[in-house]
Amino acid sequence: MSLKVERASLAEQVKEILINRIIEGKYKGGERLIELAVAKDLGVSQAPVREAFQQLVAMRILESEPHKGTRVREITDCEMGESTMVRGYLEEAAARHAVHALKDKLDDLRAEVQGMLDALEKGNFVAVAKHNVNFHRAIVHASGNQVLISVWESLAFEAKSRLCAQKAAYSVMLNGVKSCEPIIEAFSRGDGETAGRLLRLQTEKCGDVQKTATQRLTPADLHKALAAYKPAAT
């Protein structure tokens, strides 16, 4: 009996593969992607590739003009900032409505923060980004607002944050992790207003740093900072 777990359409699979290739840098920003070429490469026909392209265009990961072709979008710092700002407002909205549902999910949030700290210590920035996404996603989903969830997911926070995982300064990451705890604390008090404001401010700060700062901590600095921080965390 064959297991046959391939429960995703070809288009879906192609989409996943393309996202990974873009994240891994196999397809650089600005590079042209040709439907038939990708199709041949993956051993499928043009149709599912075209379908995957369209979904990635909707996620603003690819861009296309009729009859002119499709290429990998350059996610500029500017756009990353714009996206972050929008995300901030969405999460502020989510927080205000998620208070009740989060009451007995606070430990999940704490677990994600701990996951970030662990990953940060190991220098595994992709993992940090992943836990960070989970932290924010949990809040958004707890809002129960389906439209809000769908819009938030469409920002492709996950993909973009992994794309920029290398770029991100260590300092930003540590500060980002630190700023999660007051948020959890606000939720535990049932104060969605404050939690929301903190979430939005987090994105504003993030945007600023992304724009201005190129000063980065060395791994050694990071380790020192972590050591000083952890006692308070546990």
Burial of 197 (0-12, 13-18, 19+ CB in 10 A): middle
By the rule CB under 8 A, 208 interacts with a second copy: no
Site string for a second copy, 125-164 (x = CB under 8 A): --------------------xxxx-xx--xx---------
The bridge status of strand 62-65 relative to strand 32-33 is unpaired
By the rule CB under 7 A, 17 interacts with DNA: no
Residue selected from 22, 70, 83, 162 as contacting a second copy according to rule CB under 8 A? 83
Site string for a second copy, 170-199 (x = CB under 8 A): ------------------------------
- In the three-class reduction of DSSP (H, G, I as helix; E, B as strand; rest coil), residue 2 is classed as coil
User: Are 39 and 46 in contact, with CB atoms under 8 Å apart?
Assistant: yes
Residue selected from 17, 21, 23, 50 as contacting DNA according to rule CB under 7 A? 50
By the rule CB under 7 A, 47 interacts with DNA: yes
- The Cα–Cα gap between 39 and 70 comes to 14
What φ, ψ does residue 45 adopt, rounded to 5°? -90, 180
Binding partner selected for residue 36 from a second copy, DNA, none, CB under the kind-specific 5 to 8 Å limit: DNA
Residue selected from 23, 44, 151, 169 as contacting DNA according to rule CB under 7 A? 44
Q: What is the DSSP string of 19-63?
A: HHHHHHTSS-TT-EE-HHHHHHHHTS-HHHHHHHHHHHHHTTSEE
- The Cα–Cα gap between 55 and 57 comes to 5
Site string for a second copy, 44-73 (x = CB under 8 A): ---x---x--xx--x-x-----x-------
Q: What residue ranges bind DNA (CB under 7 A)?
A: 9-11, 32-37, 44-48, 50-51, 64, 66-70
